[in-house]
Structures are given as structure tokens and as C-alpha cells.
Amino acid sequence: MADANSPLYETATDYVRHHLGFMKFGQRPDGSWGIAHSQEEAAQMGFWGIHVDSMLMSLLLGVIFMGIFFTVSRKATSGVPGPLQNFCEAIIEMVQTNIKQSFFAKNDLIAPLSLTIFCWIFMMNLMDLVPVDWIPLLAQTMAGDPHLYFKAVPTTDLNITLGFAVSVFFLIIFYSIKVKGLGGFLGEFAFHPFGKWALPLNLILELPGFLAKPVSLALRLYGNMFAGEVIFLVIALIGYFQLPLHFAWAVFHILIITLQAYLFMMLTIVYLNQAHTVPHEAH
């Protein structure tokens, strides 16, 4: 249960702002390095500051994901499977089905990439269902600092969602050049849709849509998860009467958590399929 009435917070706004802050490590204005103790100090650290909480939770959840699937793969049986094996097999089958329906080239990277994206993002999103004060309070207790900032949901950090999106974007460029050649890749922007005589217009039409792919991937995931987190914080301000609303929003939020992970995976598959597709006139 959230403790919005703690003496650490003078107003409800202070409570929400504190829970939306990051544990940021970087160079302070005086030249020293360390953890920021206020949002103002975090802002002064600039671009090169690191959100330690986002990185820590991302890596921890990634290790848990790999550990679960590694354990299941080692103990998998052709007989009657256990609940965990059934669950993992259902996820793998779902990923394989979507790849067969949306990816028409041959690339052994697509299946493990799609599985990793779905499971990793889903686990990050799932942290949003943990009561908003539990993990930050644990971090504050371990650090001995009741004012410590700590965000438990990595996908509410735009740096994390952009990291995923930019990684996919680089793969799109890599496979586009590998499959179509540099000339074919650049030709998609220069010669389509109106032919080589309308090159400037083609660039104006094609480049924004191409560059929008990583932006849309990152902002869609970040926006939905950030909004969900804010709603949980607002519900927490109600105090002891928050439980029914918290439960109702959590049930609905399960759909958002799953859908956002699924959409990111599906768009990755679709974008990489486009990167592997050679226009008919290029054959």
C-alpha cells in the first residue's frame, strides 16, 4: 500500500514528483561524481548521466527471463509438462505463429529476437503492477536514504524504450543494405513513389516515415506505461480507500502491459520483413 501521507512529502505533488524521479548517477556541478539528491541536481548532470534504477531493473529482469527459459529448456520433457514449461511453450508458439504470418524471408535471428523483445518488455511492464511504494522503499532501506529516488518500471524511462527502438532501427538499416544493397536501400527513398525524376519530392515523402519508425516504437511504449504509472500514483493518494480502485486499474492494466509488449514485437517483425523485401522492379 502506498504511503502518500508520509512526513517526507509535504503535498501530493511532492509525492508524485518523487516517485517519477530517477536514481541518476553523473557529474555534479562541483565536478564530483555521484547520485543526484534532487531533481534539479539530476537535471544539471545532463545527457551523460545514467539512470541507475532503470539499468539495474532492466538487467535484473533480463537475467530472470534468461534464467527461466534456460531452466525450462534443461528440464523440458516430452511427457506431461509442468505449468512453467506449458507457459513457456505457449509463448514460443505464439511468437512462431506471428513470425510465420508476418515474416516471409529466412533469417534465424528473427525468432529469438522477437521472443526476447516480447518477454523482456512484458517483464519490465509487469513491474507496474507492484504497489508503487514497495520497490522504492526497499531500495531506500537498503541504501539507508529515505529520500532516494528509485523507479521500478524501466519502460517508464524514455531512455530504455528508445534503446529498444534504436536497436531495432539499426537492424532495419543493416538488413535493408544487406538484402537490397546500398544502392537499393537508398533508391527506396530517392526513386519511390514517383520515379527518379521526382527525387526531391520522393525524399520529402519517404524519409520522415522511415525516421518515424524508432520514434513511434519508443513513444508508444513509453507513453502508455508512463500514463499507467501516473494513474497508480494518483490512486495511491486516496489512502486506505485505494485498494478497490487499485485492483480495478491493475486488472485493466494487465491488458495494456501485454498489448504493448505484443505490439512492439509485431512492429519489429513487420519492419524487419520490409527490410528483407525487395521491390519487384529490382528483380
Does any domain span residue 260? yes
Q: Is 4 domain-assigned?
A: no
- 258-261: long-range pairs with CB below 8 Å, 24+: 258/122, 258/125, 260/121, 260/125, 260/155, 260/220, 260/221, 260/224, 260/225, 261/117, 261/118, 261/119, 261/121, 261/122, 261/125
In a domain, 1, yes or no: no
Would you say residue 126 lies in a domain? yes
Domain count for the chain, please give it: 1
Report d(CA 166, CA 128) in Å as an integer.
23
Q: How far apart are CA 109 and CA 127, in angstroms?
A: 28
Range of the domain at 113: 12-282
Helices (H), 76-146: 83-102, 110-126, 134-143
Instruction: State how far the Cα of 12 lies from the Cα of 192, in Å rounded to an integer.
Output: 53
Residue 242 inside a domain? The answer is yes
Return the C-alpha torsion angle 142, 239, 156, 87, nearest 10.
80
The number of angstroms, rounded, from the C-alpha of 1 to the middle of its chain's C-alpha atoms is 26
Give the helix/strand (H/E) hosting 195: none
| Residue 5 falls inside a structural domain | no
Instruction: Give strand ranges (E) for the chain.
Output: 24-27, 33-35, 50-51
DSSP label at 80? S
Active site residues: 216, 220, 224
Query: What are the pLDDT tens digits along the chain (283 aa)?
Result: 445 555 556 678 888 888 899 999 999 888 889 998 888 888 889 888 999 999 999 999 999 999 999 999 998 877 788 899 999 999 999 999 999 999 999 999 999 999 999 999 999 999 999 988 899 999 999 988 888 899 999 999 999 999 999 999 999 999 999 999 998 888 887 776 666 767 778 788 888 889 999 999 999 999 999 999 999 999 988 867 778 888 899 999 999 999 999 999 999 999 999 999 886 555 4
Cell numbers 547520485: residue: 35
142 inside domain? yes
